[in-house]
Chain A
């Protein structure tokens, strides 16, 4: 186990820079999730930690060692790939033991380690099978088994659950989390799924176009997004974001007056007004809107509405009768309005 320290990391392909100076400190044993939309550079960053991509500038240190120029095999890491990357011609046991064999470990020791890992992951009955004879979830477990037999300092996961169906994904999410709590190995996990990020991470690193948008604990990101990008990215359905000008106790956008709900900004400033769907409630005064679509999920009701051509989403936990075309008045709960500078996108 070890901490991972990334300082001033840059990556260019020819003249195109894809990572613009990344700084992250990952504490020993922490589960860090890199999350962001496609093309934000999160996978590139992970591959640079693994040693599969070269470093243009900056440093990556694992433990006490700067590993910039070390090949992947000497970085003491293990990686789980999106498509599992199991060796199709080797059995489950041989797949898991391959790294140990490469390290010239004695056969009894290899067998013991593979057996222990298989027990942890519930793979014991499948050790003699080939990857093609396994289901998606089992293959994913073998890929994890291949990582844990090596007892590495850092686990790297590259969107490991993307190929699984929704139900299995939720199950594996819990298993990976349990595995981490059991082994307490420093973990860097890449995903584009913000739910995965929220549920699994000790800390989330939100990335946007080669920059870090925000680093923090899941709820910290949810409750206090540092900028418009994080506000819109974290949370599902996404936060309602409307650009307008501050006038008194409201933000004016077209014909709409959006209540500030206690938030403060100087008059005349151009801002982005943001409220999470579950923080909109029915009220006597506020934003008059017409319901367009009602989506009951069972545990809650998602109400899509339009107020002066502005789409808004509200979530209600209690059962109510809503119908498309119905007129409602929505207002943000006090103290739960987020304001961002319209020009920079930064939180006010």
Chain B
């Protein structure tokens, strides 16, 4: 394909892209640089090249933040939340996209409204409820909270994907002898899978990074998530910045790797739902 843009436009576009790339990569580079320095040198000049490479920052970060345990908790929580959100929101989105529901507008407002309600509003009542039911310190229980929080967003996103699927496909499947459940699982789900992958990635990221609820509901040391245990690395009066930087890098690494691996499908997914077929 031949581009019609002039050379000047092209240069400007690339310049802007390079600038944005630098802005994006700068914090990561800073993180990497300082993760290898002793704390004193970071405080002296965070931009300086390390005088000596302190690889032990990583080993100390791993053991002090108990990442072996807490990352497993985070992964379990993220995995459970992804499964729950994808299962509930794909079913809901399908129904909202296909069945004629008279109160659809009210329902939309309700769903949008819930996404705008701040979590602080119902954190305490929720906590007392969970405490009474003995669900505090349970990763499964927290995944339910996350599901309730993020499902509306997932429903709204997936609904556009279901709307983009031609109705004739369902009708063809019905004539072919599929039950409504088979239409959903064998025809609709595979077609909207880019959308589901997008939802899974976003929800996974949200729940990996979530702090407030995790801190409130998962207080016991063996049920902490990685983000919470990371916070506990900084002391009230002094902090080992080298160790904190190394821990931050360890914490963001899985997310970065996942996005690099799935970026292509992720972008396809983000763009796919926007066009109604």
Contacts and interface: CB of A to CB of B under 8 A. Distances in A.
Nearest to B168: A85
Contacts of A51: 175
B62 to A, nearest CB: 42
Contact of B176 (A83, A88, A89, A99): A99
Contacts of A102: 176-178, 182
Interface string A80-106: 011101011100000000110011000
A150 B169 CA distance: 17
B168 A81 contact: yes
A85 B174 contact: no
Contacts of A82: 168
Interface in B167-198: 168-169, 171-178, 182, 187, 190-191, 193
A85 B166 contact: yes
Contacts of A73: 174-178
Contacts of B173: 87, 98
Contacts of B168: 81-83, 85
A85 B172 contact: yes
A216 to B, nearest CB: 29
A72 interface: yes
Contact of A88 (B174, B177, B191): B191
Please tell me the size bucket of the interface on A: 20 to 34
A87 B165 CA distance: 10
Chain A interface, DSSP helix/strand/loop, else mixed: loop
Report which residue of B171, B173, B174, B177 has the largest number of chain A beta carbons within 10 angstroms of its beta carbon. B177
A78 interface: yes
B187 A72 contact: no
Nearest to B167: A85
Interface residues of B, number: 16
Contacts of B177: 73, 99, 102-103
Interface in A233-278: none
Contacts of B166: 83, 85
Nearest to B175: A72
A81 B174 contact: no
A73 B174 CA distance: 6
A52 B175 CA distance: 9
Nearest to A73: B177
Interface string B101-122: 0000000000000000000000
A145 to B, nearest CB: 13
Contacts of B169: 85, 87
Contacts of A79: 171-172, 175
A78 B171 CA distance: 11
A52 B171 contact: yes
Given A81-B168, A83-B168, A102-B182, A89 B175 contact: no
A85 B170 CA distance: 8
A85 B182 contact: no
Contacts of B172: 79, 81, 85, 87, 146
A37 B173 CA distance: 28
B176 A71 contact: no
A75 to B, nearest CB: 8
Contact of A146 (B171, B176, B190): B176
Nearest to B171: A52
Interface in A206-230: none
A89 B174 contact: no
Contacts of A50: 171, 175
A150 B175 CA distance: 11
Nearest to B176: A99
B130 to A, nearest CB: 41
Contacts of A150: 176
A77 interface: yes
Report which residue of B172, B178, B182, B190 has the largest number of chain A beta carbons within 10 angstroms of its beta carbon. B172
Interface string A102-119: 110000000000000000
A103 B178 CA distance: 9
A85 B173 CA distance: 9
A217 B182 CA distance: 42
Contacts of B175: 50-52, 72-73, 77-79, 99
A50 B176 CA distance: 11
Contact of A89 (B171, B178, B191): B191
Given A81-B171, A102-B177, 20 more contacts: A72-B174, A72-B175, A73-B176, A73-B178, A79-B171, A79-B175, A82-B168, A85-B166, A85-B171, A85-B172, A87-B173, A87-B191, A88-B191, A89-B190, A89-B191, A99-B177, A102-B176, A102-B182, A103-B177, A150-B176
Interface of B: 166, 168-169, 171-178, 182, 187, 190-191, 193
Q: For the complex of A and B, list the 7 residue pairs with the smallest distance between their C-beta atoms, beginning with the closest.
A: A99-B176, A85-B168, A102-B177, A73-B177, A85-B172, A89-B190, A81-B168
22 contacts: A50-B171, A50-B175, A52-B174, A52-B175, A72-B175, A73-B175, A73-B176, A77-B175, A78-B175, A79-B175, A81-B168, A81-B172, A85-B169, A85-B171, A85-B172, A87-B169, A87-B172, A88-B191, A98-B173, A98-B176, A98-B178, A102-B177
